[in-house]
Amino acid sequence: MTAVPDLMSATAGRSGVTAAGDMTSVAAHRAGIIATVAALPPRRMRLEEADGAVLAEDVTARWPLPMFDNSAMDGYAVLSSDVASATPAAPVTLPVKAEVTAGDPRSRRLTAGTCVKITTGAALPAGADAVVRAEWTDGGLDRAIITRPVRPGESIRQAGGEVLPGDLLLAAGTALDAPQIALLAAAGQHVVLARPRPRLTVLSAGNELAGLGGSVHPGQVWESNSLMLAAAARGLGCTVRRYPLARDDKRQVRAALRAAALDSDLLVTSGGISMGGEHDVFKAALRGLDTVTFRRVAMQPGTPQGFGTIGEPGVPILLLPGNPVSAFVSFCLFAGPAVRALQGRPREAPRTTAAVLTAPVRSSAGKATFISAVLNPAAGTVTPAGESTHHLSALARANALIVVPPAVTGMAQGELAEVMRL
């Protein structure tokens, strides 16, 4: 695997300015974002509210797991030497002296020459050293006919066989998903110190945008970016809110940003940052704020970008281009690392894999170019999904992006390309 920055910073100098004039490299822009984003403070939370949180400390076991010897099968607890000679032709018959089920608090003891009927998860009777699974018996209640021998320890989950007290259960930086939560619950860990899911708010603005479900006037389009970016943010594990669509009014937008920042950990906007006029409403609303920077990044699509902080104590904001494909590619490159930084996880760039091009591709000189593509991991090939880097229909068919370095203006069929999975 090769990290994307190796490709996209190939023409960047120490300042991050590329050979293409005053543009900033993708790597330098991402580094500035990551440096701006501080990890969320951890807090103690109940396990039932920790889904999607990231551990802020190591969690070690306080008790063994399993806590006691128990049966891994429905069957009969036995002394293995009592059934050593059992075969289907010459079975061993043992009297059933008791039955123990999962959760039964009574202690049981097995005597030689007998067996105890047992269910999965039930505590193993003292004196037993194996369990004969039910399908190797006749299921008898008074006497059990056993047709197979068992080895000592067979079908038994030994106390501490999985985890011993003091063992590391999960390391700091682990994201808590279903399996991790199950492990902590099984180990009796009901409270964790963790960083919560980041709260991400998506904002879109523009007189040309119409909300879904309504009508569009001449010159308008249905707004799609906020839905797309919200879905992408949920995929990163964020708690997401879409702010109501704003008009091209810098006062309205400034008020919306101020309100959204009050209960957000990261703001993401789309559009309104290209040329700097009053119709580029996000740039107009934030003009003069020295905590927000706008720049041209050496990438195609997605050259205009902005980032910084607003409000107190300083909520990070990513300002993305308005074209849907540009916004999505920018989100993948910059929002993913920002969210990881909020979670206190390694602040790495998206990673790429190598695949063989099935068709030639062209790119812009001096810019890292991202081309919607279909990756076939089994064949090790990648196919461009469309003719233009700005076609949303091509992105919708894609499962990856071909990454063309800034110094390269085209690649031929059969060449090995770097590919970023979506």
pLDDT of residue 276: 57
- CA dist 303 and 298 (Å) reads 6
- 300 near 363, Cβ under 8 Å? yes
Cβ proximity of 37 and 336 under 8 Å: no
pLDDT surpassing 50 at residue 18? no
pLDDT band at 217 (very low <50, low <70, confident <90, very high): confident
Whether the predicted pLDDT of 223 surpasses 50? yes
Q: How far is CA 318 from CA 7, 35, 61, 293, in A?
A: 23, 13, 40, 10
CA distance 87 to 350: 59
pTM > 0.75: yes or no: yes
Provide the 3-class DSSP secondary structure of residue 183: helix
In the structure, what pLDDT confidence band is assigned to residue 21 with cuts at 50, 70 and 90?
A: low
Residue-wise pLDDT for 119-138, tens only, equals 999 999 999 999 999 999 99
> Which domains are assigned to the chain?
2-40+198-342 (3.40.980.10), 43-65+165-195 (3.90.105.10), 70-157 (2.170.190.11), 351-421 (2.40.340.10)
Residue 45, number of CB atoms within 10 A of its CB: 16
Q: Does 21 or 411 have the greater pLDDT score?
A: 411
What is the band of 351 on the pLDDT scale with cuts at 50, 70, 90?
Answer: confident
Q: How confident is the model at residue 349 (pLDDT cuts 50, 70, 90)?
A: confident
Which of 379, 365, 366, 364 is CA-nearest to residue 419? 379
Using DSSP bridges, classify how beta strands 199-204 and 266-270 pair: parallel, antiparallel or unpaired: parallel
pLDDT for 23 = 92
pLDDT in tens, 239-294: 999 988 888 888 889 999 999 999 999 999 998 888 655 668 899 889 888 899 99
Asked if pLDDT for residue 19 goes beyond 70, the answer is no
420 membership: H or E segment, kind and range = strand 416-421
Q: Which amino acid is at 398?
A: A
- DSSP E strands: which ranges in 147-291? 156-157, 168-170, 191-195, 199-204, 209-210, 221-222, 239-242, 266-270
- Measured in whole angstroms, the distance separating CA 411 from the mean position of its chain's CA atoms is 32
Residue-level pLDDT at 278: 60
Please name the helix (run of DSSP H) or strand (run of DSSP E) that holds residue 327, with its range, or none.
helix 324-330
Question: Vertex 407, ends 403 and 410: CA angle to 5°?
Answer: 60
- Provide the total of helices (H) and of strands (E) in the chain, helices listed first: 9, 29
Tokens 């081309």 correspond to 371
DSSP E strands in 325-379: the ranges are 351-357, 361-362, 368-376
| Per-residue pLDDT band at 10 (split at 50, 70, 90) | very low
Instruction: Please name the amino acid found at residue 162.
Output: E
Question: What's the first-to-final CA gap in the chain, in angstroms?
Answer: 15
Residue 208 pLDDT class (50, 70, 90 cuts): confident
More confident residue, 195 or 20: 195
- Computed over every residue of the chain, the mean pLDDT equals 90
Question: What does 130-165 look like in DSSP terms, one character per residue?
Answer: EEEEGGGB---SSEEEE-S---TTTTEE-TTSSB-T
What pLDDT does residue 248 have? 82
pLDDT tens-digit profile of 356-415? 999 999 998 899 999 999 999 999 999 999 878 788 999 999 999 999 999 999 999 999
Nearest to 105, CA basis, from 131, 76, 68, 158: 68
Name the more confident of 215 and 285.
Answer: 285
Confidence of residue 15 (pLDDT cuts 50, 70, 90): very low
